[in-house]
Chain A
Amino acid sequence: EAGVAQSPRYKIIEKRQSVAFWCNPISGHATLYWYQQILGQGPKLLIQFQNNGVVDDSQLPKDRFSAERLKGVDSTLKIQPAKLEDSAVYLCASSSGVRGKVGHEQFFGPGTRLTVL
C-alpha cells in the first residue's frame, strides 16, 4: 500500500514570497490533515478535511494560509506571504475515518521542510 505522498521535500524562500505544498493521501482515506511542526516541538494541527469539506481550521492563520482539497483526494496548502516564523516542517496525514469508531490511526507523509530567509 502506497503511503502519503508530499512534495516538494524541501523549499527555501525569502520572506513575503508565496509557497505551496502538495499532498496525496492514502487511497480511500476520507480524512486529511495538515500539521506544522516547528523544530523541537510536536506537530500542530492546522486544518482537517473530511472528503472535500473542512472539519476544523481553527488553528490555521487565515490571513496568510489557505488550503483546499479538490475532489476529496489531493490537497494543497499555501502560504502567502511567508514570514520568518513559518519556517517549519509541514506534515500531511490521512486516516480512514471508519464510521462509528472513535479515534483513528493517522498515517503521515515525509513532510516538506520550509525555510524562510
Chain B
Amino acid sequence: SQQGEEDPQALSIQEGENATMNCSYKTSINNLQWYRQNSGRGLVHLILIRSNEREKHSGRLRVTLDTSKKSSSLLITASRAADTASYFCATGRGNAGNMLTFGGGTRLMVKP
C-alpha cells in the first residue's frame, strides 16, 4: 500500500505561475523526500527534509513538513515549461530512513 497521497492528482498552470503540491501520510517517518519523473530524465531526487526540520529551500523549490498533521507541501515558484513532470513524495522509514514509500504522484503541466 502507498502511504503518501499527493493532492491534487493533476495540476495545469501557465508558465511563471507558482505550483503547490501537497502530500499526506499515515505513520511516523524520519524523513520525507520529493522526486520528479519525466520521460526525458527518469526519476530524479529534488529535496529531502528530515522529521526535525520544518522547511527547506533549494533554488525555486520550497518544501514544508508538518509532522503533527502528517503532511508536506512542495512549492515550485516561477514555473517553467521544463517543470512539466510527475512529482512524488516519498516517506522514509527504517533505521537509516532509506525504506521509501512513494505516493501516487501529482501530474504537473506547465503551459508556455
A and B found bound together: yes
Q: A41-B104, A42-B105, A108-B43 are in contact. Are A48 and B88 (CB under 8 A)?
A: no
Q: Contacts A31-B98, A45-B100: A105 and B43 contacting too (C-beta < 8 A)?
A: no
Q: How far is the CB of B89 from chain A (nearest CB, A)?
A: 9
Cα separation A48 to B43 with both chains bound (whole Å): 18
Measured in the bound complex, the distance between the Cα atoms of B43 and A108 in whole Å is: 6
Question: For the complex, is A109 an interface residue (Cβ under 8 Å from B)?
Answer: yes
Q: Which chain B positions have C-beta within 8 A of A106?
A: 33, 45, 98, 100
Q: Which residues of B contact A35 (CB under 8 A)?
A: 102
Q: Which residues of A contact B102 (CB under 8 A)?
A: 35, 42-44
Complex partner residue of A103 from B4, B50, B105, CB under 8 angstroms: B50
Determine whether A95 belongs to the interface, using a CB cutoff of 8 Å to chain B.
yes
**Contacts across chains A and B counted by CB atoms under 8 Å:** 71
Q: Say whether A2 faces chain B, with CB atoms less than 8 Å apart.
A: no
Q: How far is the CA of A105 from the CA of B100 in the complex (A)?
A: 10
User: What residue of chain A has the Cβ atom nearest to residue B89's Cβ?
Assistant: A42
Q: In the bound complex, do residue A41 and residue B33 qualify as a contact, i.e. CB atoms below 8 Å apart?
A: no
What is the interface of chain A, defined by CB distance below 8 A to chain B? 31, 33, 35, 40-45, 48, 55-56, 91, 93, 95, 97, 101-111
| Further contacts, 10 of them, CB under 8 A, given A97-B98, A104-B48 | A33-B98, A41-B2, A42-B90, A42-B102, A55-B94, A56-B94, A93-B43, A102-B31, A104-B98, A106-B33
Complex A-B: 24 CB contacts under 8 Å: A31-B96, A40-B104, A42-B88, A42-B105, A48-B99, A56-B99, A97-B98, A102-B31, A102-B92, A102-B96, A103-B48, A103-B96, A103-B97, A104-B48, A104-B97, A104-B98, A105-B48, A106-B33, A106-B45, A107-B45, A108-B42, A108-B44, A109-B42, A110-B42
